Amino acid sequence: MQAYRTLVIAVVVVAVAISSFVAGMSYGSYSTALESEKLLASERERVRQLEAELASKQSELNSALNNVERLDALLNESKRLLSESEERVTALQTTLSNELENLRRSNSDLSRRLSEVEARMQRVESQVKTVSQAIPILNQLRGVEALGPDRNATINYWLDIKGLVASFEPALTPSVDRVINNVNGLFDYYEWIGRYPGENASAEAIVQWLFSLPPSYEQYVNAVNQFVDELLTSLASKLSALRDSIS
């Protein structure tokens, strides 16, 4: 009997222990479930936040991609405009280079023509100056027939002409020297005039006087005429050259 009680008590104790264990297990499972729910809710919130953040980042990425596309399109357009600008600049440079070359050629041609005109003007001025130097010679020659028997005055007269001729045409100075060398013929002429027999002289005396005209005078006259011819020929040649230079 005692053994039976002991067995019953043991069974009861075991049952109580098992019930306590089961109750403890149930309470522990409930607590674990609550913690799991909290953790799951927290993770769900974290996932939601991450999804929202991911959506925001995706939106930013899409916006950035759109910006990249716009920038790429803008870059391509800029490249096209730059290429067109470079082509226009190249064409403009070519045009300017051609125009500059044409201007250089025109300037060179104008400079050449200007040099020719200046040289021509200098030549004309020189020719006019030379021709003008004949004027005082011609004026001086107007008095050749008025030369008298004064030897010094006559020689000085021709020396003055020689100086003028040397400036006009040096090649003519020998012709003036020829006149000076024959100037005694002029004085012989005046001596011959002084031997005129008079109006009452006989015809024979007058004829003899006429035939006694000194040959030296003819040589003087020929020398003067030769000089004048050479002077006029030279002047005509210079005037012709001047007309050619002007025309």
- How many Cβ atoms sit within 10 Å of the Cβ of residue 134? 20
Q: Are residues 201 and 235 in the same domain?
A: yes
How far apart, in Å, do the first and last CA atoms of the chain sit? 175
Q: Are residues 103 and 151 in the same domain?
A: no
* Cα–Cα distance for residue pair 174/172, rounded to 1 Å: 6
Q: State the average pLDDT over residues 163-184.
A: 96
Question: Which H or E run includes 105?
Answer: helix 2-132
* C-alpha atoms less than 13 angstroms from C-alpha of 57 in its C-beta half-sphere: 6
Q: Are residues 28 and 94 in the same domain?
A: yes
Q: How far is CA 29 from CA 15, 33, 35, 40, 44, in A?
A: 21, 6, 10, 16, 22
Give the count of domains, the chain. 2
> Does any domain span residue 125?
no
Which range (95-99, 212-216, 228-232) has the least confidence?
A: 95-99
Q: Which of 119, 145, 177 is the last residue of a domain?
A: 119
Q: Are residues 143 and 74 in the same domain?
A: no
Q: Are residues 4 and 101 in the same domain?
A: yes
* Cα–Cα distance for residue pair 10/101, rounded to 1 Å: 129
Q: Which of 59, 86, 119 is the last residue of a domain?
A: 119
pLDDT band at 201 (very low <50, low <70, confident <90, very high): confident
Residue 109 structural domain: 1-119
In tens, the pLDDT along 87-126 reads 886 886 888 688 878 878 887 887 788 787 787 777 778 8
Specify the pLDDT at position 62.
81
Q: Are residues 183 and 152 in the same domain?
A: yes
In tens, the pLDDT along 63-89 reads 877 876 786 787 688 688 767 867 886
Residue 247 has pLDDT above 80, yes or no: no
Residues with Cβ within 8 Å of 239's Cβ and at least 6 positions away in sequence, in order, are: 131
